[in-house]
Amino acid sequence: MNWTSDDRSEQLGAYFRTLYQRWGAQHWWPAETQFEVIVGAYLTQNTAWTNVERALENLRSAKLLSPAGIRRTPQAKLARLIRPSGYFRQKALRLKTFVAFLDRNYGGSLANMFAQPTAKLRGELLALNGVGPETADSILLYAGNHPVFVVDAYTRRILERHEIVPQKATYEEIRELFERAMAKVAEEEGLQASDGSPKLEQGLPGTTHFPSPMSTAVRTALVQTYNEMHGLIVGVGKNYCRKSQARCDECPLRIFLPGVH
């Protein structure tokens, strides 16, 4: 299918409205603090969120889920605490590297770090060991409320199967596509963070979360729309648009599949 830029924006806007009407607010990212979001963004690399939650609980129980806690904890001990998340030695080093960066560049202050222009801070994060575009953008969007869209494997899979982007599309091309589309949605919908209970639908375990201080933080409509769209895509990817055994017949986005009328 040959899509124009406007066609693709309209299509993604329709995806958002369809999913949000059905599932409501996803309450991403579930966390108590900005730093917990950052740690979670590192720990979720190459593992399931349930494993991340166990590692976060270990840090929380040890009262180490803070820059000061990571700073003072020997790397070997930190690795043991985050073991449930997998690649724990590597991730412990990366968390140490992030805190060193925060100390060196921003005096240990997340507020100072997130006050930087989005493009500048994104470049700095991408220069850190172990931080790719998805991790950097997760930190920017969910912890810092910067207007960047997070592209993950679910996003790419859904768009490829719906023939909206080719397999060779880059991360940046997909991110920019979503940012154009969701900017229009945000302008029309005026979406804001919700402090109510999420609309939980049977069959969506592990995707919709209950409200938390970070998921209900005050955000612009644009940031909130990016936030919700990414969470909704995760719901589709985990429960319907699976890598194998896709459940297209049950998927809310089935009506948008090429050849379906």
DSSP letter string, 138-162: HIIIIIT--S-----HHHHHHHHHT
Is this prediction's pTM over 0.85?
yes
Tokens representing 172? 């940046």
Residue 175 has pLDDT above 80, yes or no: yes
pLDDT digits (tens, 9 = 90+) for 70-80: 999 999 999 99
> What pLDDT is recorded for position 196?
47
Q: In this structure, are residues 194 and 228 in contact, taking their beta carbons and an 8 Å threshold?
A: no
Query: Any idea which of 49-63, 166-180, 185-199 has the lowest mean pLDDT?
Result: 185-199
Gap between the Cα atoms of 170 and 136, Å rounded: 16
Q: In this structure, are residues 218 and 181 in contact, taking their beta carbons and an 8 Å threshold?
A: no
Q: Which CATH number fits domain 34-143: 1.25.40.10, 1.10.260.40, 1.10.10.10, 1.10.340.30?
A: 1.10.340.30
Q: Which CATH number fits domain 5-29+151-256: 1.10.12, 1.20.120, 1.10.1670, 1.10.760?
A: 1.10.1670
Burial class (CB in 10 A: 0-12, 13-18, 19+), 46: exposed
- Residue 198's pLDDT band, with cuts at 50, 70 and 90, is very low
- Residue 140: CB atoms within 10 A of its CB come to 23
> What pLDDT is recorded for position 259?
75
> What pLDDT is recorded for position 197?
45
One-letter amino acid of 213: P
Gap between the Cα atoms of 40 and 30, Å rounded: 9
